[in-house]
């Protein structure tokens, strides 16, 4: 399992390097595909696509909304993305009305939440990549998420004694959490020293990078635990089996999805 997980992690990092450096249509298309897969996993977890019924009326609205949202982003029409979300809500409520009593209220809210949680939040990676110095700033998302996760695991294994959330994730410790945040900040500072001279902005990069990575690391742990809470509520071990050793898209990208908007707005404000 360890070697499978390690190999998958290396492949993911290599793929992220290629896609993020390429940007443009390659990044947009990749994030769109990942969003569709993640949304499918979300709908399966909530029981909205039972018996492999991918084309359930309610979930079709979510997939259409995801496609429309990414299309507007790719065309540079970010000002109209809220219109897409309103349209998706109206479509889902229409399905709710005209297929009544097929769906319950909580299923409508879960379906709409999935579009925001998976597709919209993940799309912030593309928006940050489009920003000035986006080629460098976008990596702060992964430093905050995967850097924190790796450092927290190492510190927790060595020094972890106090459980952070025993009911949700018994293996996570307070010591690991502190180590994860500290590790993400350290990596962020080193990264800032390495790329600062190549960025267009003339402001000091070290402190903003440290603040962004600290905030991202803290919130990434909430995102990880939130994903675990959903799995426990719905009695599933993993969201999917797409990534060997890791599970599904939502299992590997749960914290990335959660912090992408946070890093994007912090980067816009602080940089």
Residue 195 burial by Cβ neighbours in a 10 Å radius (0-12, 13-18, 19+): middle
Contact call for residues 35 and 43 (beta carbons, < 8 A): no
Q: Which residue is it, tokens 């409520």? A: 93
Residue 108 near residue 93, CB atoms below 8 Å: yes
pLDDT number for residue 2: 55
Give which of 268, 245, 187, 269 is closest to 220, Cα–Cα. Answer: 187
Residue 38, CA distances (Å) to 29, 43, 107, 136, 200 in order: 14, 9, 17, 25, 34
Report pLDDT for 1.
58
In the 3-class helix/strand/coil scheme, how is 77-133 assigned residue by residue?
CHHHHHHHHHHHHHHHHHHHHHCCCCCCHHHHHHHHHHHHHHHHHHCHHHHHHHCCC
What is residue 238's predicted lDDT score, i.e. its pLDDT?
Answer: 85
pLDDT at 263 (0 to 100):
96
CB 102 within 8 A of CB 111: no
Residues of the chain with pLDDT under 70: 1-3, 5-6, 50-54, 202, 245
Q: What is the DSSP letter of 271?
A: -
Q: Which two tokens stand for residue 247?
A: 């599970």
DSSP 146: I
Neighbours of 264 (CB within 10 A): 24
What are the residues facing 163 on neighbouring strands? Answer: 173
What are the structure tokens assigned to 217, written together? 């690391």
Q: With contact defined as beta carbons under 8 Å apart, do 209 and 137 qualify?
A: no
**The pLDDT of residue 134:** 92
Helix axes 206-233, 174-195, angle to 10 degrees: 140
Specify whether the CB–CB gap between 188 and 213 falls below 8 A.
Answer: yes
Write down the pLDDT at residue 116: 97
At 187, which helix (H) or strand (E)?
helix 174-195
Within its chain, how far is the Cα of 26 from the centroid?
Answer: 18
């Amino acid at each position: 399992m360890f070697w499978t997980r390690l190999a998958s992690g290396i492949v993911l990092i290599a793929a992220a390097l290629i896609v993020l450096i390429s940007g443009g249509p390659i990044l947009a298309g990749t994030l769109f595909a990942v969003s569709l897969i993640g949304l499918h996993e979300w709908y399966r977890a909530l029981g909205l696509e039972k018996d492999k019924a991918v084309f359930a009326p309610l979930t079709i609205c979510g997939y259409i909304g995801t496609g429309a949202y990414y299309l507007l982003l790719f065309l540079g029409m970010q000002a109209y993305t809220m219109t897409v979300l309103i349209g998706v809500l109206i479509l889902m409520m229409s399905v709710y009305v005209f297929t009544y009593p097929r769906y319950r209220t909580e299923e409508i809210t879960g379906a709409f939440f999935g579009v925001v949680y998976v597709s919209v939040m993940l799309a912030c990676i593309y928006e940050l990549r489009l920003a000035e110095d986006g080629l460098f700033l976008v990596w702060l998302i992964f430093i905050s998420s995967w850097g924190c996760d790796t450092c927290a695991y190492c510190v927790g294994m060595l020094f972890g004694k106090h459980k952070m959330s025993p009911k949700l994730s018994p293996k996570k410790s307070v010591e690991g959490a502190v180590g994860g945040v500290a590790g993400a900040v350290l990596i962020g500072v080193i990264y800032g020293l390495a790329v600062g001279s190549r960025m267009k902005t003339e402001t000091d990069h070290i402190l903003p990078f440290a603040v962004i990575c600290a905030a991202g690391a803290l919130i990434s742990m909430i995102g990880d635990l939130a994903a675990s809470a959903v799995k426990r509520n719905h009695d599933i071990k993993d969201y999917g089996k797409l990534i060997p050793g890791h599970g599904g898209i939502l299992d590997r990208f749960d914290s990335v999805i959660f912090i992408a908007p946070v890093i994007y707005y912090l980067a816009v404000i602080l940089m």
